[in-house]
A and B are shown apart, each in its own frame.
Chain A
Amino acid sequence: MNIHEYQARDLLSSAGVAVPRGAVAKTAEEAEAIARSLPCNSFVVKAQVHAGGRGKGHFQDGYKSGVHLVKTPHQVRDVAQHMIGNTLITHQTGPEGKPVHSVLVGESTEIARELYLAIVLDRSSGCPVIVASQQGGMEIEAVAEKNPEAILREVIHPGLGLQPYQARKVSIFLGFPSTGLRAPCRLLHAAYRLFIEKDCSQVEINPLAVTKGGDVVALDAKLNFDDNALFRHKEIQDLQDPSQEDPRDLAAAEHHLNYIGLEGNIGCMVNGAGLAMATLDLIQAAGGKPANFLDVGGGASEQMITAAFRLLQADSSVKAILVNIFGGILKCDLLAQGMISACRNNPPRVPIIVRLQGTNVEQGRKLLKESGLPLIPAEGLMEAAEKAVTAASGKKGK
């Protein structure tokens, strides 16, 4: 799960990580008022969307950049006026962009050095790992590629937690003098505590700034959370912002479907994540483009199948639907019943290709055949993908 920058900033701040003074505004008036309350003579205004690359982005109406540096509260108001209610397009949002409903107004900080700090999960050791670099403000992947020795990876034992010597080691690597380790060490412990307490999958502070005054502050931060642990963090669930999500993803989440919207025109309904992924691969191997990833799960109910089917039918970009099921726990006859009842209430608008295999496959195929629905059966995997590609292109299949 993703959250906004201002929310990440609040969480870091309450965990004990220093952040620049500022607050979030939902209107231009609020933005100006916040600026007037800040004791400084230069301000930064940042559009709040769930995407990176805001500085280099542009708005739907041509207004440039989602991050502005200005001198007066009046200019803050002017910038906020342009941003709020507008749509920001960056290299991460896709061409449709993301709506801006708020801006973060903060003091602009005089920076001496920009550093990089993150805590993520290291899969091979099964431990949290601190990733640190003196080359802040850049994407860490770019640093890793050009200059791998500029990055320190410090693995933390999950039972023991971050040890003081490790915090000192990271701080020294980040270029802090041995007489000035207290502030960075405190920040590291605070960030680690946040990572553990909130079940984060990532705490990334980039840049972590050393100000000309010698303070260590998180200038920008990105927090991600483990979806599996949200059940024990109602306070994090409440930070969700539906306006930043693909509406198709939201509808799917309501029915507990594992769905990811993609750019193509072949809708997919598959059971099992691995099979769903392999089905996307098959479609592309056959020369088509999938409209989505959809795993209805091993133990899907008839209602879930119906909901999944409705979701695909409602997506106007979908020109054909490929159903690929290997029945294990999910029996093929149950799947067939779900599809039939979905089609009864909502007659199919596009060709549907069905490939069934596994438990009760004969009963399932029979039910579909007797239903009189215009379904295109397929037995082989590649055959199914090819039929779907043909159908989506509008040509008549065999």
Chain B
Amino acid sequence: MSVLVDANTRLLVQGITGKSGSFHASACKEYGTQVVAGVTPARGGEKFENTVPIFDTVAEAVDATQANASMIFVPPEFAGDAILEAADAGIQLIVAITEGIPVMDMMRVRHALEEYSCVLIGPNCPGIITPGACKIGIMPGYIHRPGNIGVVSRSGTLTYEAVWQITSQGLGQSTCIGVGGDPIHGLTLQKAVEYLHADPDTHAIVMIGEIGGSEEEEAAEYIHARVKKPVVSFIAGATAPPGRRMGHAGAIISGGKGTAQAKIEALKKAGVRVAQTLGDIGQEVVAALRK
């Protein structure tokens, strides 16, 4: 078992002919993901790497290949439209990697998606991986190892750090999900924790947050009320100056809200083990499993 993606996932790539799209479509394919189609308007009929058929629209691609997940590399000005096209074609899992989508576009997209049953991961995220089975995203595959630790995070490289520490401890991951660094995005930390908690093959959960917004606090409430599995957390940005956007559009302390201190406090209250510094995540996971 795993969360959201497994060996049966059939992936299509929107923006497969672009520089990043083609690079990562290749990498996912090499990892073992079933990449069944690509979509680039006006390039329909061509083939990607001589094997993967390219279509003009997502609907055509779904009809021909029964794709059920999409990975989006479309440039920011057109990415909102690409997400809506995927949802409308019946795609169940949409992973938007694109960074820099205007907030106003994402506001409209998020509301439109309420009409559909699909799950959106991202945008501005590393993607999702079930080690050994399916990789949808830009994470380096080799740092992962199949196992029983579920990982969810708002940051790409911090996820890699955590995953690498878990792997270095001789453990592995069930599924790793990067929800993305934008202020308005699809899957929330809490929802990701819910999925991981419901997965019998996930024995412990690592949740990595950062300053800005209140998703960590909301997840903490849920963990406190429902989660029986051990949870380890790390929050980045304890020393970030207020009012400055720290790289991610969503990583900003504004009006005294969204501080790392408030998040850490909420998590500790919920019984979560919070790693003091980034380098301590692996050891905290080991300690949490031993308890």
A contact residues vs B (CB 8 Å cutoff): 121, 123-124, 126-128, 140-141, 144, 157-159, 196, 199, 201, 226-229, 231-232, 258, 260, 262, 270-278, 280-282, 284-285, 290, 293, 295, 298-299, 326-329, 357-359, 380-382
A388 CB to nearest B CB, Å: 14
- B244 near A260 with CB under 8 A, answer yes
Residues of chain A lying within 8 A (CB to CB) of residue B108? 158-159
- B279 near A382 with CB under 8 A, answer yes
Q: Answer whether A382 and B103 are a contact pair too, CB < 8 Å, given A126-B184, A141-B255, A273-B155.
A: no
* Measured CA separation A133–B103 after assembly (Å): 26
| Residue in contact with B277 in the complex, picked from A226, A272, A285, A359, CB distance below 8 Å | A285
- B251 near A357 with CB under 8 A, answer no
Nearest to B103 among chain A residues (CB) is A226
- B157 near A229 with CB under 8 A, answer no
> Can you list 13 pairs linking A and B with CB atoms under 8 Å apart?
A123-B213, A127-B111, A260-B241, A272-B247, A273-B248, A274-B154, A277-B240, A278-B158, A280-B240, A293-B240, A328-B157, A357-B161, A358-B164
B10 CB to nearest A CB, Å: 24
Residues of chain B lying within 8 A (CB to CB) of residue A228? 76, 100-103, 249
B66 within 8 A of partner (CB): no
- A273 near B247 with CB under 8 A, answer yes
Nearest to A282 among chain B residues (CB) is B277
- A328 near B156 with CB under 8 A, answer yes
* Measured CA separation A278–B76 after assembly (Å): 27
B contact residues vs A (CB 8 Å cutoff): 20, 76-77, 100-108, 110-112, 126, 138-140, 142-143, 153-161, 164, 181, 183-184, 208, 210-211, 213-214, 218, 234, 236-241, 244, 246-251, 255-256, 276-279
- A159 near B277 with CB under 8 A, answer no
Nearest to B238 among chain A residues (CB) is A281
Residues of chain B lying within 8 A (CB to CB) of residue A280? 237, 239-240
Instruction: List the 5 closest A-B pairs by CB distance, nearest first.
Output: A274-B155, A273-B247, A272-B157, A229-B102, A274-B158
Residues of chain B lying within 8 A (CB to CB) of residue A258? 247
Residues of chain B lying within 8 A (CB to CB) of residue A121? 103, 107, 183-184
- B184 near A123 with CB under 8 A, answer yes
| Residue in contact with A281 in the complex, picked from B236, B247, B248, CB distance below 8 Å | B236
- A276 near B246 with CB under 8 A, answer yes
